[in-house]
Amino acid sequence: MPGGCAQYFAAIRPEYHALMNQLKVGLLGGGSWGTTVASLVARNAPAVLWARDPATVAEINARHTNAKYLPGAKLHENLRASADIAEASAEVDVVVVGVPSQGFRGALGAIRAHIRPWVPVISLSKGLEAGSGKRMTEIIAEVLPGHPAGVLTGPNLAREVMSGFAAASVIAMEDQTINRALQQLFSSGLFRVYTNDDVIGCELGGVLKNVIAIAVGMGDGQGAGDNTRAALICRGLAEITRLGVAMGGKPATFAGLAGVGDLVATCTSAQSRNRHVGVELGKGRHIDEIIAGMFMVAEGVKSAPVVMELAQRHDVDMPLVREVFDVVQGRSNARRAFRGLLRIAAGAESEAG
> What are the beta bridge partners of residue 255?
none
188 beta partners? 191
Distance CA(65)–CA(79), nearest Å, equals 10
Residue 317: burial class (beta carbons within 10 Å; 0-12, 13-18, 19+):
middle
> Helix or strand or coil: residue 94?
strand
For residue 62, give every residue at least 6 positions away whose Cβ sits within 8 Å of its Cβ, in sequence order, or none. none
Measured in degrees and rounded to the nearest 5, phi and psi for residue 315 equal: 55, 50
Q: Under a CB-based contact definition with an 8 Å cutoff, are residues 213 and 189 in contact?
A: no
**Among the listed residues 315, 316, 332, the one whose alpha carbon sits nearest the alpha carbon of residue 324:** 332
Q: What single string gives the DSSP state of each residue in 175-238? A: -HHHHHHHHHHH-BTTEEEEEES-HHHHHHHHHHHHHHHHHHHHHHHTT--HHHHHHHHHHHHH
- Axis-axis angle for helices 319-328, 334-342 (nearest 10): 160
Q: Choose the catalytic residue: 24, 74, 126, 209.
A: 209
Q: Are the CB atoms for 135 and 128 separated by under 8 Å?
A: yes
For 70, list phi and psi in degrees, rounded to 5: -135, 65
3-state secondary structure of 317: coil
302 in active site:
no
What are the catalytic residues? 209
